[in-house]
């Protein structure tokens, strides 16, 4: 985080958004100037910086980065219209990928490399975006108290026997919004709403913190059960914090039904891209073994490119059946999910 803040501090502020330039610094001969690529990204992981540097090192293409919230980026690209300098849009939520596509800001990309590397269910049918990494939102429980009986699905979390045992982060988190949207897609809005209400009735405390602090709360026995993203669990795999991970048990939900809810980060080439060839090159690079290892490995996510392995910390969480709901479906129910959370009193 510190590294990211330093990098951002060195960036000029453009209309409230940070604009950053990753030069081809470091050792070795400076690559020949092969132009630039303007990346509008909503990924907030400082490990991605190494990726941009490596791309510049190998191609000579300079990466200019604009970093902001995905919705702000979509709005900005749409507002800039045909004069937008944006070449590539990167985000961390399937719903935002679907929204970018609906906003008409993404171009169809005809790249045999991308079509070969990224499985069909992890890219837009018209190749307007490609998933780069995935993460699952899974159930954790306090290991010392044992695995709660009758808890195997997201739906089970609303059962009355779990009253007073569940701690969660705020419903404003897109991780929860995307999950509820997927439940709406599978079970319908009425069932999704009674689920949300049942879960709120089971809260051990008002929603608070983030996935990291809720993992710590479950490990410490402050509450018994929570829902968190896989990569946050993997962050506790080494070092002093290992005892936190050892204190929680893991349940991959809905293994006998729809599979564990999976969200994705992904990218697409912007329709008005002034450096289109470089933009496609950048996406193809993101699907390469090296980039996939940096992208997924740096944040303990699952790589999407065929034949690339996740980190050992991620593999150790276990294998599971993933929900294959499309990005469009994960996105579609999000506005309704927000309304349901409000009605259910999930702050
Ligand atoms: Fe996150």
pLDDT tens, 223-237?
A: 999 999 999 999 999
Query: How far is ligand 1, taken at its centre, from the CA of residue 296, in Å?
Result: 13
Radius of gyration of the chain (CA): 20
Query: How far is ligand 1, taken at its centre, from the CA of residue 82, in Å?
Result: 32
CA distance 293 to 303: 7
Question: How many percent of the chain have pLDDT more than 70?
Answer: 91
2-133+263-315 and 136-261+319-344 share one CATH topology?
A: yes
- Sort 194 into a burial class: Cβ within 10 Å, 0-12 / 13-18 / 19+: middle
Query: How far is ligand 1, taken at its centre, from the CA of residue 274, in Å?
Result: 31
Query: How far is ligand 1, taken at its centre, from the CA of residue 5, in Å?
Result: 17
Query: How far is ligand 1, taken at its centre, from the CA of residue 195, in Å?
Result: 24
Query: How far is ligand 1, taken at its centre, from the CA of residue 28, in Å?
Result: 34
Lowest mean pLDDT of 25-29, 129-133, 218-222, 264-268, name the range.
Answer: 25-29
Q: Identify the band that residue 68 occupies on the pLDDT scale cut at 50, 70 and 90.
A: very high
Q: Identify the band that residue 9 occupies on the pLDDT scale cut at 50, 70 and 90.
A: very low
Residue 11 has pLDDT above 90, yes or no: no
Query: How far is ligand 1, taken at its centre, from the CA of residue 298, in Å?
Result: 12
Query: How far is ligand 1, taken at its centre, from the CA of residue 1, in Å?
Result: 13
Query: How far is ligand 1, taken at its centre, from the CA of residue 154, in Å?
Result: 20
Topology of domain 136-261+319-344 in CATH is D-Maltodextrin-Binding Protein; domain 2 (3.40.190)
**pLDDT tens column, 115-160:** 999 998 899 999 999 999 999 999 999 999 999 999 999 999 999 9
Q: Identify the band that residue 32 occupies on the pLDDT scale cut at 50, 70 and 90.
A: low
Average pLDDT (200-228) is 98
Report pLDDT for 278: 98
**pLDDT tens column, 294-321:** 999 988 999 999 999 999 999 999 999 9
Average of per-residue pLDDT values in the chain:
90
CA distance 225 to 221: 9
Q: Identify the band that residue 17 occupies on the pLDDT scale cut at 50, 70 and 90.
A: very low
Average pLDDT (275-287) is 97
Q: Identify the band that residue 6 occupies on the pLDDT scale cut at 50, 70 and 90.
A: very low
Report pLDDT for 253: 98
Query: How far is ligand 1, taken at its centre, from the CA of residue 33, in Å?
Result: 34
- What would the two tokens of residue 4 be? 């990211």
Average pLDDT (240-248) is 96
Give 16 or 198, the one with higher predicted confidence: 198
Residue 183 has pLDDT above 70, yes or no: yes
Q: Identify the band that residue 43 occupies on the pLDDT scale cut at 50, 70 and 90.
A: confident
Query: How far is ligand 1, taken at its centre, from the CA of residue 106, in Å?
Result: 24
Topology of domain 2-133+263-315 in CATH is D-Maltodextrin-Binding Protein; domain 2 (3.40.190)
Query: How far is ligand 1, taken at its centre, from the CA of residue 27, in Å?
Result: 32
**Listed residue (220, 208, 215) closest to 168, CA to CA:** 208
Query: How far is ligand 1, taken at its centre, from the CA of residue 266, in Å?
Result: 14
Query: How far is ligand 1, taken at its centre, from the CA of residue 173, in Å?
Result: 9
Report pLDDT for 15: 41
Query: How far is ligand 1, taken at its centre, from the CA of residue 34, in Å?
Result: 33
Report pLDDT for 121: 85
Give 4 or 99, the one with higher predicted confidence: 99
Report pLDDT for 31: 57
Contacts of 27 (CB under 8 A, 6+ apart): none
- What would the two tokens of residue 152 be? 């195997």
Query: How far is ligand 1, taken at its centre, from the CA of residue 104, in Å?
Result: 26
Query: How far is ligand 1, taken at its centre, from the CA of residue 211, in Å?
Result: 8
Query: How far is ligand 1, taken at its centre, from the CA of residue 295, in Å?
Result: 13
Residue 86 has pLDDT above 80, yes or no: yes
Contacts of 323 (CB under 8 A, 6+ apart): 182, 254, 258, 259, 260, 261, 262
Report pLDDT for 18: 47
Lowest mean pLDDT of 108-112, 120-124, 167-171, 337-341, name the range.
Answer: 120-124
Report pLDDT for 177: 96
Query: What are the residue boundaries of the structural domains of the chain, listed by start?
Result: 2-133+263-315, 136-261+319-344
Query: How far is ligand 1, taken at its centre, from the CA of residue 257, in Å?
Result: 26
Residue 126 has a CB neighbour count (10 Å cut-off) of 11
Phi and psi at residue 6, to the nearest 5°: -60, -45
Query: How far is ligand 1, taken at its centre, from the CA of residue 208, in Å?
Result: 15
Q: Identify the band that residue 14 occupies on the pLDDT scale cut at 50, 70 and 90.
A: very low
Query: How far is ligand 1, taken at its centre, from the CA of residue 48, in Å?
Result: 13
């Amino acid at each position: 985080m510190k590294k990211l803040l330093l990098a951002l501090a060195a960036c000029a502020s453009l209309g409230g958004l940070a604009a950053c330039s990753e030069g081809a610094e470091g050792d070795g001969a400076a690559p020949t100037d092969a132009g630039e690529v303007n990346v509008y990204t909503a990924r907030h992981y400082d490990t991605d910086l190494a990726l941009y540097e490596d791309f510049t090192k190998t191609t000579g293409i300079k990466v200019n980065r604009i970093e902001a919230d995905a919705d702000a980026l979509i709005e900005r690209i749409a507002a800039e219209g045909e004069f937008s300098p944006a070449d590539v849009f990167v985000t961390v939520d399937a719903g935002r990928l679907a929204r970018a596509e609906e906003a008409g800001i993404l171009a169809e990309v005809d790249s045999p490399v991308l079509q070969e590397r990224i499985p069909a269910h992890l890219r837009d049918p018209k190749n307007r975006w490609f998933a780069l990494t995935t993460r699952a939102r899974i159930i954790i429980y306090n290991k010392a108290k044992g695995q709660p009986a009758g808890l195997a699905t997201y739906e089970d979390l609303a059962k009355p026997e779990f009253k007073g045992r569940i701690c969660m982060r705020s419903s404003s988190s897109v991780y929860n919004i995307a999950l509820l949207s997927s439940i709406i897609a599978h079970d319908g809005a009425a069932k999704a709403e009674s689920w949300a209400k049942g879960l709120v009735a089971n809260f051990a405390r008002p929603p608070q913190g983030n996935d990291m602090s809720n993992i710590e709360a479950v490990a410490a026995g402050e509450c018994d059960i929570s829902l968190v993203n896989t990569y946050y669990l993997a962050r506790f795999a080494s070092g002093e914090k290992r005892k936190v991970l050892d204190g929680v048990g893991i349940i991959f939900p809905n293994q006998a039904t729809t599979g564990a809810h999976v969200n994705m980060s992904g990218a697409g080439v912007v329709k008005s891209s002034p450096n289109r060839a470089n933009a496609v090159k950048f996406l193809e690079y993101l699907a390469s073994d090296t980039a996939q290892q940096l992208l997924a490995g740096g944040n303990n996510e699952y790589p999407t490119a065929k034949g690339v392995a996740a980190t050992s910390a991620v593999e150790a969480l276990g294998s599971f059946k993933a929900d294959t709901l499309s990005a469009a479906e994960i996105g579609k129910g999000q506005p309704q999910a927000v309304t349901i959370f409000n009605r259910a009193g999930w702050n």
